[in-house]
């Protein structure tokens, strides 16, 4: 999300909280935005499009899958230190990533190519490691609830935590749609989760025996791919309609 759209979204969220008498609490993906007087928790997603959007669930730390114990292997951060960081340092010739983006297209292209290969190699490494199924379930539930940032992560999460959790979708006409998260996710099979890998992809999917639930993309959110701020983007599967 660009800075202009983020600013617009922030204003809409503040306006909506005032209209409904909610206390705005946070301003990040995947953390509750507001609470009501009776303790209900609301996550607000405003889009500049006519259609409602709830697909983007979280933008979280680059090493979340290993930090939260889904995989017991080297983190993406440490994986890059062996080759990517060393080669990127040589390519950049001490230029900042902004200088490279604005002035050195060939260097930028080389770093982007290196970053693409690094993502593929790391995902291939993950595919050869076992997952902790219980911790995967906890991770997925935190993503769905909106608590997958480290400060709000619930290690003992259950469906009871969803009973006072709501999602408010807002479109560019200021029309709203309220979603009860418990009603949306309570019947979801979370006991038979697994991860799907695709050749050459830079993302993985979390699925159950019926359909995909999440897509997790390995991403660099500033300057360009391979530039600055590696992270994981978590998206809700298109199976969930609004």
Comparing 171 with 233, the larger pLDDT belongs to: 233
pLDDT band at 220 (very low <50, low <70, confident <90, very high): very high
Hey, what long-range contacts does 20-29 have (CB within 8 A, 24 or more apart)? Answer: 28/59, 28/149, 29/56, 29/57, 29/58, 29/59
Comparing 53 with 1, the larger pLDDT belongs to: 53
pLDDT at position 152: 86
pLDDT at position 3: 55
The distance of Cα 206 from the centroid of its chain, to the nearest Å, equals 13
Mean of pLDDT values over 88-94:
94
Average pLDDT of the residues of the chain: 89
% the chain with pLDDT above 70: 92
pLDDT band at 30 (very low <50, low <70, confident <90, very high): very low
Reported as a single tens digit per residue, the pLDDT across 93-139 is 999 999 999 999 999 999 999 999 999 999 999 999 999 999 999 99
| pLDDT at residue 79 tops 60 | yes
């Amino acid at each position: 999300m660009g800075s202009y759209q983020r600013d617009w979204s922030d204003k809409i969220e503040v306006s909506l909280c005032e209209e409904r008498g909610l206390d705005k609490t946070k301003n990040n993906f995947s953390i509750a935005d507001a609470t009501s007087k009776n303790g209900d928790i609301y996550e607000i997603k405003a889009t500049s499009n006519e259609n409602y959007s709830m697909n983007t669930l979280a933008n979280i730390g680059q090493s979340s899958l290993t930090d939260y114990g889904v995989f017991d292997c080297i983190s993406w951060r440490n994986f890059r230190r062996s080759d990517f960081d060393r080669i990127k340092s040589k390519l950049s010739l001490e230029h900042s990533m902004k200088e490279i983006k604005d002035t050195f297209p060939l260097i930028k292209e080389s770093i982007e190519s290196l970053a693409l290969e690094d993502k593929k190699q790391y995902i291939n490494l993950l595919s050869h490691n076992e997952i902790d199924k219980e911790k995967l379930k906890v991770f997925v539930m935190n993503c769905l609830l909106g608590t997958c940032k480290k400060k709000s992560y619930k290690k003992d999460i259950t469906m009871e935590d969803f009973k006072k959790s709501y999602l408010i979708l807002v479109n560019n006409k200021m029309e709203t749609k309220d979603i009860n998260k418990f009603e949306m996710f309570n019947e979801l099979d979370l006991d038979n989760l697994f991860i799907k890998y695709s050749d050459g992809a830079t993302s993985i999917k979390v699925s159950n025996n019926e359909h995909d639930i999440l897509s997790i993309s390995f991403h660099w959110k500033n300057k360009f791919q391979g530039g600055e701020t590696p992270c994981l983007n978590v998206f809700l599967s298109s199976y969930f309609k609004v």
